[in-house]
Structures are given as C-alpha cells and as structure tokens.
Amino acid sequence: MNRRLGVLISGRGSNLQALIDATRDGRLDADVVVVISNRPEAAGLDLARRAGIEALCVDHRLAPSRSDHDRAVTRELRARDVGLVCLAGYMRLVGPPLLEAFPRSVLNVHPSLLPAFPGVDAQGQALAYGVKVTGVTVHLVTEELDGGPIVLQRMVPVLDEDTVETLRARILVEEHRAYPDAVRLVLAGGWHIVGRRFVRGPQPSA
C-alpha cells in the first residue's frame, strides 16, 4: 500500500502530531505528505507547517455543496499521490466523492468504544451514561457517522472522580498511541473485510 498519508483536520491537531511523531521516530513507516483543514483557523495547520509538512485549507463554507467540498479535498489529496487518508478531529461527514476515490483507505479515530457514543462529545456521553469503561476506536470510514469496520480499539477506565476534562485527557493519551498503531496495521496489508469485520490474515478462498 502507498505509504503517503494525507491528514484531514478541523482544529487542534494533537492526533496529527502523534502521527507525525510516529513517522519520525521509526514507529510508523509512512510519511504525512499533506494536511488539509476545512477551517482556516485550525491550529493543526501551523503545527504541520512547523514540522515542514505542506498544509492547506479547503474551506467548506466556500463550497456550494458538501459533495463539491469533498471533491475539492479529493483533488488535493490525489494531486499529492496520497495512499491513505487519516481523519484526525475532522468535524465533517465524508461522502461518496472522497470515499470512492479512496476505497477502504480512509481512517478515523473516535474517543469511545463504538458503537457506543458516536458523534460529538463522546466522552461527555460516556460519563453521563455511567459506563465504567470507555476508550478509543480507529475505524475505516464509510458514509455512516462513526460506523465503518473497526480496525482497533483500546479501553480506558472511567474513574469515580472523573470529570469530562480528566476523562477526555486520559482518552486522548490512548488515541495518540492507538492511531499510529492502527495506521501501521492497515498499511501492512494482509487484511480483509467480512461483513462489518476487519479481519487480519489472507482472504479465505471461496
């Protein structure tokens, strides 16, 4: 698999930083070749530039439709020969133009054990529900919000004394470990999809 990563962000970019760090300290044999934000003020854009990585904004507010925005992002990714697209705090639903251009090659990190607590404020949802264990999911992206085949999950306990802030911080530490691990798994190949399941090993013959 082509090891050129394109990372899509909307904000801070700490998962982006974790991916960059992993590519640079030898934990992940890949290169982040472009970072694209849908918001010009995303702090992650500066973080990428400081790391010497091309960073650009494709502002969704300037696109006439969601599909037009997806197409514009896809063009930028393709122009840089990206092989795997990593959503990292990208606050947009990704649609067919991008998913068809990168089949089974778009990943997302989500701060809960899916299918529990999809969507925004997964950590607050977990705390309010009262679960004792939550965590991190890295999954292949489909059109369904936080709904694609799960590549990897990591558990994080919920402590009695947790607030949304402390829980969010502990989950984030685990996100930063899990995302590079999941990218490594996907790039290594030798996996297949059975129904909703991401299964390691060769595709069984029919």
Name the residue whose CB lies closest to ligand GRF: 89
CB of 12 vs ligand GRF, minimal distance in Å? 4
Q: Does 135 bind ligand GRF (CB under 6 A)?
A: no
Between CA 86 and CA 100 the distance in angstroms is: 15
Identify whether 115 is preceded by a cis peptide bond (ω within 30 of 0): yes
Q: Given the rule CB under 6 A, which of 5-13, 19-27, 57-65, 180-188 is the region that contacts ligand GRF?
A: 5-13
In this chain, which of 32, 72, 86, 88 binds ligand GRF, going by CB under 6 A?
88
Q: Does 114 bind ligand GRF (CB under 6 A)?
A: no
Residues 6 or more apart whose Cβ sits within 8 Å of residue 43: 11, 12, 13
Dihedral angle of Cα 68, 72, 74, 79, to the nearest 10 degrees = 150
Per the annotation, the verdict on 60 as an active-site residue is no
Q: How far is CA 29 from the centre of its chain?
A: 17
CB of 58 vs ligand GRF, minimal distance in Å? 17
**In the block, residue with structure tokens 């896809």:** 74
CB of 202 vs ligand GRF, minimal distance in Å? 31
Side chain identity at residue 134, one-letter code: T
Catalytic residues: 110
Contact set with ligand GRF (CB under 6 A): 9, 11-15, 88-89, 109-111, 172, 175
